[in-house]
Structures are given as C-alpha cells and as structure tokens.
C-alpha cells in the first residue's frame, strides 16, 4: 500500500518542478536546474578526458543464420563435428535448429572491431561447411523450397541438454518465428563515463552509482524504443515470406515482416512496456514467477537490459549489481553487408545513445512510447519505398540534432559517414535496404538473389589466403591458427594489439601477436596440449548425430 505521505507529496508538486520517483521517495529539482544539468553535462563533454570516453563504447554482436544447400533447401548435414563444443563455446553454436548458426563476439571497443570479429567467426564456420552448403544472408528462410523442410526442422536439434526449452518455444511460438535470422547489438558505455556522470551531476538524484547506472541504461533503452521505427525504416530487410501466417489483405512486399507485429515478438497479452525501470522489471519478474516466461531470453522486446555473467532468471541480482549493457534485438540481417550488419548501422545507433545522455525524455513519455510501438509496426508493414511526410520530417530533425552532436564534440569521421548514409536513405527510400531488396524479388521471393549472394560469399571465403583474414594484419598466420583452433574447441580468447590470451576458467596462456609456432600434430592438438581440460568440452558427435 502506498503511504499517505507519498500521495500528499504528489499533491504538493508544482508545475515548476521535475520529479522522479525512487520507490516511495520523491526527489524534485526545478525545471531550470534540469536544463542547467544537461547544459553542464554537454559542456563537460568538451573536456578531453571525457570526450575520449564518449566514443569508447563497447559492442558485442550476435547473428543467426541458416545453413542451406545450394538449391535453397535446409541443410540436413549434422552440425560440424569440429565445432561440437556447444555447451562451452561462447562464439559459435547452433540455434533453435542444428541448421541455424549462432555467432557471438566478445565485447570490444568500436563498431569496426566488433564487425571484424564477426568476419573472423564467419570464416571459421564457412570453412566447416560441406561443398554444397551455404550461409543464407537473409532473416527469413528461403521460399518457397524451405516450406518442405519445416516439419524436419521442428525436430532438428541435437542439443539434448536444451531440449526442454527447445520444445517449449517451438510449441508456444511455432517453427516459423523460431527460425528467423537476425542481428543483436550489445552496447555498453565506457564505465568511466558512467562514473563521471554520476559523481559530477547526479549524486543529488540517485543514492548510489548502481541506481544511477540502472536508470541511465534504461533511459537509453527508452530512447531507442522511441526511434525504433526509424531503424526499421533504414535497416528493415524481410519484405516477403511464404511460410508466415499473414492476413490476406496485407500487400507484399513490405519493409520488415520480422520487425512487425507478425514477426519476432511475444504474444499480444504477454508484452512488456518501457514506461519506467520499476514497472518494466516488476512485469518481467511477475512473468518469470508465474511461468509466463521461462527466462529473460523469452522477452522479445526491442531492447533487453542485461548484465554480463548474470543469471537470466535473477533480475534482482542484475539490479543490485547494475545493468551494464543493452541488447538491441530488432535488427534484420543486412544482406548487403557480409556479416549481416555494417559499421555504419552500429555507429548511427551509438550516436543516438550518446545524444540520449544529454537530452531529456518527452514529458508525455508513456503516450509517446505507445505511439512509437504503433508507428514501428506501421513502418514495418509499409511498402519498401514508401515514406510519409511526417516520417521524413521527424527523421530530418533527428539527423540534424545528431549532426550538431558530431560537429560539437569532434566525432571521428566514421560517425560523419554513418550520418551521411542515413541522410541519403531518408532522402531516397529506394536506397534503404528494403528498397534495394524490392528490386531483387522474383516470383514473389528472394531465392535467386539470396543464393547468388550466398554462393559469392562462400567462394570469396574459401579463397581467403590467411587462417583468419580479418585479423591477419595484426597476428602472424600461426597465431591465427591457434586462435582458430581455440574458438573451435570452446576455449575463450582475448585479442590485444600485442598478444592474444587463451583461457579456460582461471587457466590462461598468452602468445605474442607476431609469434611463430610449429604444429607437428596440428593447431587443435597444440591448443588441447595447452588446455587439456578443453577435451571435456567436446561432444560425442556420433551420439549427438543419432539423437
């Protein structure tokens, strides 16, 4: 029950104050003080030390792609034997089905480094494919041939330890939703920046750093939700489908079926809003407690609040120790980018996040968030080259705001280039990803286009001249071979400019970047000799194939 004093305090508030509820405690500051606070933060961003922290964010990338045959059918080859370390492998795994590949990179500073790691993982995976296998570059499965494989894919799972979750999700959401490919962008601010913001500007508003950090990250999540429609407009890339249950009146192609209400979403009566940190986590906790969600991973909203190495069912533990990254999960695979996501996409996202630090949320936030969700669905279901005057005006306004941020804080040139790409796509919808895909549709599908891309990229990867081409300028070929073997075996790797460090639990081994090594029994034997404990990570492939 809310104390009467709390209600009385609400009645005493004047229009001259901006107030925040922290539990039953209300903290208020004058409107002028709020304005002064944001102005002071903006001024502080000019200080060299803080300015350097601005563009020091970390990104981790997750991508899900289908293994398909050269005719577009689902691959029925077993998950590659050399990569059978799935209980322990942080980088390469199978998804809902064995024919879906999950790629996941370590968090690193900057978009370029993050995409480079994804390229590295993709090279490893492609090297393990059969001659007639390819990685499908689009979020939605190939049509129409994939329709013949759906019954098979429902049971295509050899991860017996995850069978219960697999069966639960398949029954509740259906195979079509569970095999959608996508990209998740994991984003975290420089911890020093978070500490500086709290220490200099927010000690009067939040009782401790963790409380501030939680609210800061949630504010960034709210900002993304408000502009999710623009990301769908720019990067939506799932215009057609022949296996989704869609209303007959829906006129295909659209911009992004996956990003629409028909796509990757929770059931209508099990969705969670972003009105406030407290209400968001209270609803999540309720759904975990009553069994609506089996874990945080079943929340399919556009942004998840996360903490590294935190139990996905322990929400209170996350809040007690502090949210330390956001998982943006509303991106279709970008078929025009080799890995499924481009540096420019990530850089544009980062600019929006940085602007959110120094910009207040709208006063009518709850209404705006509801309107934003509705608008995102409308944009997702628009024709690929459609654009309303209102969308154009809102996009131009944001771009202008971000351009001022880039100019004022002397952002590196890659951020300026990202804004130029966005502006071009706002000026001309045919340049958006879905706008370009619309011209590639034949017979109502993208089968020919997708297979051509898949074939070209397979050939290009097989012709690479280094074990890990994406990092060949930094590491010798033999160190690349060690890295490659370690990733295949499920050994953790850390990349630095001068060395690489491999680890299993507390056991670490480092190798100089330019080191030269010989492998009389091969790189895998070399790594297993250094980490004999990794032998236990390997699955019994014969047993798994028989499942």
- Structural domains of the chain in order of their starting residue, each with its CATH number: 4-44 (no CATH), 58-449 (3.30.590.20), 468-546 (3.30.310)
pLDDT at residue 266 in the model: 97
307-325 residue pLDDT tens: 999 888 899 999 999 999 9
* Spatial separation of the C-alpha atoms in residues 451 and 73, rounded to whole Å: 11
Q: Are 325 and 107 in contact (CB under 8 A)?
A: yes
Closest alpha carbon to 386 in 445, 429, 332? 429
Q: What angle do CA 408, 411, 415 make, to 5 degrees?
A: 120
The torsion defined by the Cα of 220, 223, 227 and 228, in degrees rounded to 10, comes to 50
What is the pLDDT averaged over residues 217-234?
Answer: 98
Q: What is the largest CA-CA distance in the chain?
A: 79
What is the pLDDT averaged over residues 297-315?
Answer: 94
Cα 487 to Cα 186, 292, 339, 460: the distances in Å are 20, 35, 18, 21
Task: Give the burial string for 123-137 (b: 16+ CB within 10 Å, else e).
Answer: bbbbebbeeebbbbb
pLDDT at residue 165 in the model: 94
pLDDT at residue 144 in the model: 83
Q: What is the pTM of this model?
A: 0.92
pLDDT at residue 393 in the model: 97
486-533 residue pLDDT tens: 999 999 999 999 999 999 999 999 999 999 999 999 999 999 999 999
pLDDT averaged over the chain? 92
> How distant is the alpha carbon of residue 459 from its chain centre?
27
* Spatial separation of the C-alpha atoms in residues 470 and 454, rounded to whole Å: 19
Packing angle, helices 389-408 and 413-427, rounded to 10: 170
pLDDT at 29 over 50: no
Label residue 404 by pLDDT band (50, 70, 90). Answer: very high
């Amino acid at each position: 029950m809310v104390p009467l004093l709390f209600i009385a305090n609400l009645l005493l508030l004047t229009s001259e104050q901006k107030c925040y509820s922290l539990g039953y405690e209300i903290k208020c500051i004058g409107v002028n003080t709020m304005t002064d606070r944001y102005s002071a933060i903006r001024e502080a961003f000019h200080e060299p030390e803080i300015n350097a922290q601005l563009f020091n964010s970390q990104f981790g990338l997750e991508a899900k792609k289908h293994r398909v045959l050269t005719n577009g059918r689902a691959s029925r080859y077993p998950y590659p034997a050399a990569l059978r370390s799935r209980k322990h492998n942080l980088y390469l795994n199978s998804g809902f089905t064995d024919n879906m590949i999950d790629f996941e990179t370590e968090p690193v500073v900057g978009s370029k480094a993050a995409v480079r790691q994804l390229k590295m993982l993709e090279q490893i995976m492609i090297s393990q494919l059969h001659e007639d296998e390819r990685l499908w570059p689009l979020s939605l499965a190939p049509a129409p041939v994939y329709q013949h494989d759906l019954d098979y894919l429902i049971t295509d799972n050899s991860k017996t330890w995850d069978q219960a979750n697999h069966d639960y999700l398949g029954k509740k959401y259906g195979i079509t939703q569970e095999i959608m490919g996508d990209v998740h962008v994991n984003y975290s601010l420089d911890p020093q920046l978070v500490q500086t913001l709290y220490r200099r500007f927010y000690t009067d508003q939040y009782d401790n750093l963790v409380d501030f950090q939680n609210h800061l990250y949630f504010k960034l999540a709210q900002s993304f939700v408000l502009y999710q429609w623009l990301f769908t407009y720019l990067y939506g890339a799932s215009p057609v489908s022949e296996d989704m249950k869609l209303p007959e009146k829906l006129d295909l192609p659209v911009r992004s079926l996956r990003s629409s209400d028909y796509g990757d979403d929770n059931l209508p009566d099990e969705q969670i809003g972003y009105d406030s940190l407290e209400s968001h986590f209270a609803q999540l906790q309720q759904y975990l407690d009553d069994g609506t969600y089996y874990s945080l991973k079943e929340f399919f909203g556009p942004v998840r609040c996360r903490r590294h190495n935190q139990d996905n069912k322990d929400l209170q533990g996350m809040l007690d120790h502090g949210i330390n990254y956001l998982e943006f999960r509303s991106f279709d695979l970008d078929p025009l980018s080799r890995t499924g996501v481009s540096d420019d996409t990530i850089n544009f996202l980062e600019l929006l996040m940085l602007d959110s630090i120094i910009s207040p949320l709208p006063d009518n936030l709850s209404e705006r968030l509801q309107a934003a969700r509705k608008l995102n669905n409308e944009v997702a279901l628009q024709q690929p080259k459609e654009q309303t005057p209102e969308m154009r005006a809102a996009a131009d306004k944001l771009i202008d705001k971000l351009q001022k941020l880039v100019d004022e804080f002397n952002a590196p040139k890659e951020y300026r280039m990202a804004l130029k790409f966005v502006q071009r796509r706002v000026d001309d919808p045919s340049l958006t990803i879905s706008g370009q895909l619309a011209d590639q549709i034949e017979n109502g599908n993208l089968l020919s286009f997708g297979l051509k891309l898949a074939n070209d990229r397979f050939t290009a990867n097989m012709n690479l001249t280094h074990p890990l081409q994406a990092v060949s300028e930094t590491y010798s070929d033999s160190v690349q071979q060690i890295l490659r073997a370690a990733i295949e075996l499920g050994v953790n790797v850390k990349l630095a400019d001068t060395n690489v460090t491999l680890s299993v639990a507390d056991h670490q081994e480092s190798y100089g970047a330019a080191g030269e090594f010989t492998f009389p029994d091969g790189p895998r034997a070399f790594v297993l000799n250094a980490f004999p404990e990794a032998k236990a990570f390997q699955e019994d492939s014969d047993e798994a194939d028989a499942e």
